[in-house]
């Protein structure tokens, strides 16, 4: 190999290395899936890092819970937004009945949002498709719930 070929190879390697590290953070976060935590770990991390907690109650026998896991929680936009803006917590209501009772979970799946200081923001029972989940996540994640109704948020959002 002559010097020109070596220089070209080095430049290509450097360009590839630099550009390879420039893919969107969301793509990296989405590729890793939602970074679920236990209830205690997630609540502690939410308070320590001043982040809202996104908590989902489910059970092994729950068909709609499995559907949300396969569809909603595999959506790259949902994964990226949850991992960036929230501390995600997964609670199996059969194995952790005390927590499900504390939150008065009536049906599954049940999705909860907890504020940075540990207060309950709100909940939504039942299956939530990815497109709707993303709207809810953005409503809570942007703190819009403090100043407007969900309907007003939807009308204002593009």
Which pLDDT does position 9 carry in this prediction?
A: 36
Give 31's pLDDT tier (boundaries 50, 70, 90): low
Q: What CA–CA distances, in Å, run from 102 to 50, 57, 105, 112?
A: 22, 12, 8, 12
Q: Where are the domains of the chain?
A: 26-156
Which pLDDT does position 47 carry in this prediction?
A: 93
Give 1's pLDDT tier (boundaries 50, 70, 90): low
Give the CATH fold of the 26-156 domain: Glutaredoxin (3.40.30)
97 Cβ contact list (under 8 Å, min separation 6): none
Give 157's pLDDT tier (boundaries 50, 70, 90): confident
46 Cβ contact list (under 8 Å, min separation 6): 52, 53, 87, 114, 116, 118
CA–CA dist 75, 90 (Å, integer): 17
Tens-place pLDDT, residues 107-127: 999 999 999 999 999 999 999
Closest alpha carbon to 71 in 134, 22, 6:
134
Helix (H) or strand (E) holding 9: helix 3-20
Give 136's pLDDT tier (boundaries 50, 70, 90): very high
Output DSSP code: residue 145: G
Helix (H) or strand (E) holding 80: helix 76-85
Q: What are phi and psi of 26, to 5 degrees?
A: -60, -40
Tens-place pLDDT, residues 80-91: 999 999 999 999
Output DSSP code: residue 122: E
């Amino acid at each position: 190999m002559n010097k020109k070929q070596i220089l070209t190879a080095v430049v290509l390697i450097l360009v590839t290395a630099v550009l390879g590290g420039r893919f969107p953070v969301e793509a990296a976060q989405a590729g890793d899936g939602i970074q679920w935590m236990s209830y205690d770990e997630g609540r502690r991390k939410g308070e320590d890092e001043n982040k809202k907690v996104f908590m989902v109650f489910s059970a092994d026998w729950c068909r709609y819970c499995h559907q949300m896991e396969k569809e909603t929680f595999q959506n790259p936009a949902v994964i990226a937004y949850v991992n960036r803006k929230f501390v995600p917590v997964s609670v199996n209501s059969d194995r952790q009945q005390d927590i499900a009772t504390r939150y008065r979970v009536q049906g599954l799946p049940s999705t909860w949002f907890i504020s940075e200081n540990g207060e309950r923001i709100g909940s939504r029972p039942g299956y939530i498709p990815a497109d709707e989940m993303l709207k809810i996540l953005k409503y809570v994640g942007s703190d819009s719930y403090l100043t407007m109704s969900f309907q007003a948020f939807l009308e204002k959002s593009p």
